[in-house]
Chain A
Amino acid sequence: MGVAQLDQHGKLRHFLSTEGLPRAVLEEILNLADAFVETSGRAIKSVPLLRGRTIAMLFFESSTRTRSTFELAAKRLSADVLTLDVGASSAAKGETLLDTLRNLEAMHCDLFVVRHADSGAAQFFANHAREGVAVLNAGDGRHAHPTQAMLDIYTIRRHKGPDFGALRVVIVGDVLHSRVARSQIHALNTLHVGELRVAAPATLLPDAVEALGVRVFDDLDLALEDADVVIGLRLQKERMRGAYLPSESEYFQRYGLTTERLKRAKPDCIVMHPGPMNRGVEIASDLADGPHSVILEQVSNGIAVRMAVMALCLGRARQ
């Protein structure tokens, strides 16, 4: 625990996790993203909203997609952007997180986008940030990746409409190591999703996963029955130490998403993946590139959703 994500008026101050955020805040993000999708379609894609503000990107853990879409989102809001590949600089020299934060505050940064391999890193930054400085979590350990979850949910809403109660959503794969899945589960339940299923081998599920409000399936084919949305998760090999899986090919046989398997889902079912994909492990190539896939649209929507979160966190009136 630590400082709250919402200020005393219920406005978003930091964005660290989807857990515990009220439905109205999640919907405000989604609605605002709509307006940014519209401006992103223009020849001139930027708006002057955050002109003169400074946004620092602190990536202690490597990332291509998340970092570039955050950077583009900040630029399209006309903010000044500082991107620090911290893994390669100060952290390697032993500078503490707190020193890194204080140094960047001395450069008058207004918002930090933080990605770190340790759960709770973004919360740590938020706890120590000066008044008026906002922190966005771009992924912390196994804990949360709230903007990814919101862009996934935004993508679902664009395709399936605003009534989540009518939807059956299936999350497939490595839930245990996935901060994306955790953030998705919290947000989808807050939005009162009709039914949320997870399908994975028991070794890749956290203890007491049902308590998060999901139905657990050992058999993927059963889980896919009448699904509206299927979300494949990446096997996080870099976070696995020990024997979670027999082999990748066996995993694909049991839990790989294929066009054949998807026939059990609804005909207009959409297939999503947060990337980067292990083709032929979690998902077959023809499905990933086929008509059900909205995977590249997720990337485009990610820019608008990240713009929305930045605009809300920096758009609070100064007292």
Chain B
Amino acid sequence: MLDANASLKLLCEQVRSAWPAAERPVIVGIHTGGAWIAEHLRESLGVVAPISTLDIGFYRDDLSLSGFKGVSSSSLNESIDNREVLLVDDILHSGRTIRAALGALFDYGRPARVRLACLIARDGRELPIQADFIGAQITLERAAKLKLRGPDPLRLELL
């Protein structure tokens, strides 16, 4: 089984080398697993500002299929206008969460560039969306469900 901490370490290394120390991005973690990973990336990048979190519940595309689930407040702590944004999620699968997150993000402002970091990228994309930084890639059976448990310790669970 995948080791969440080893994947996280690889992800942090990639992200660290992507930005010069003087220009750090605004880190936005998708609620809830993405926010846990985002917190680790913040430490690794030495960013002092707290991470922002985004709950994409109001932007989902499956309201009439699976119904509306509780949404917690997003908190974007700084303006993203003309900034580099590092969007963070735990598991990239269909790409629909990221599509929704981009929609939500652009209702907060107009970033200069958005890059995507995911702890795990599994197969099964339904949209033309790929991550810029990936902790690990994995191929699973279509029906398999992969979930990140956390925040401490982080643990990947195959359901």
Asked whether A316 lies within 8 Å of B71 as measured between CB atoms, the reply is: no
Contact with A312, one of B55, B68, B72 (Cβ below 8 angstroms): B68
Q: Does B7 contact A (CB under 8 A)?
A: no
Inter-chain contact total with CB atoms closer than 8 Å: 56
Residues of chain B in range 62-76 having any CB-CB distance to chain A below 8 Å: 63-68, 70-75
Q: How far is the CA of A47 from the CA of B58 in the complex (A)?
A: 6
Known: A42-B108, A317-B64. A49 touches B58 (CB 8 A): yes
A315 CB, min distance to chain B CBs, angstroms: 2
B65 to chain A: which residues have CB within 8 Å? 317-318
Known: A48-B58, A315-B63. A35 touches B74 (CB 8 A): yes
Asked whether B59 lies within 8 Å of A47 as measured between CB atoms, the reply is: yes
Interface size range on B against A? 20 to 34
Q: Does A107 contact B (CB under 8 A)?
A: no
B46 to chain A: which residues have CB within 8 Å? none
A181 CB, min distance to chain B CBs, angstroms: 29
Q: How far is the CA of A28 from the CA of B69 in the complex (A)?
A: 10
Asked whether B73 lies within 8 Å of A316 as measured between CB atoms, the reply is: no
Contact with B70, one of A31, A50, A316 (Cβ below 8 angstroms): A31
Residues of chain A in range 76-127 having any CB-CB distance to chain B below 8 Å: none
A39 to chain B: which residues have CB within 8 Å? 58, 74, 107
Q: Which residues of B contact A (CB under 8 A)?
A: 55, 57-59, 63-68, 70-75, 103-104, 107-109
Q: Would you mind naming 19 contact pairs between A and B with Cβ atoms under 8 Å apart?
A: A11-B67, A28-B70, A32-B71, A34-B72, A34-B73, A35-B71, A35-B73, A38-B74, A42-B108, A44-B108, A46-B107, A47-B59, A48-B59, A314-B63, A314-B68, A316-B67, A316-B68, A317-B65, A317-B67
Other A-B pairs beyond A28-B70, A50-B63, 11, CB < 8 Å: A31-B72, A34-B72, A35-B71, A35-B74, A38-B73, A38-B75, A47-B58, A47-B59, A48-B59, A314-B68, A317-B67
